[in-house]
Amino acid sequence: MARLALKLKAARDPKFKVRAYHRCPLCGRVRGYLNRFEMCRICFRFLSLRGEVPGVRKSSW
């Protein structure tokens, strides 16, 4: 679990543009971030299986 200070640091505007990085707004995870859905892969999987992410459904073939 990410520290609250790191979540707040990622939310504010950086001093320089290249210092910006993505962090999941739900859990604070840095790695495995999906730009399209703006959350990490773990939160994406959890919410999509519950049907809370619009336009996403489980694939089957």
Specify which residues 39 forms β-bridges with: 34
The answer to whether the annotation marks 43 as part of a ligand binding site is yes
- Was 40 annotated as part of a binding site? yes
Cα separation, 29 vs 40, in Å, equals: 6
DSSP conformational letter for 36: T
Does 44 belong to an annotated binding site? no
| CA gap 27, 3 in Å, rounded | 10
Instruction: Report whether 49 belongs to an annotated binding site.
Output: no
Give the residue numbers of the binding site for Zn(2+).
Answer: 24, 27, 40, 43
Binding-site residues: 24, 27, 40, 43
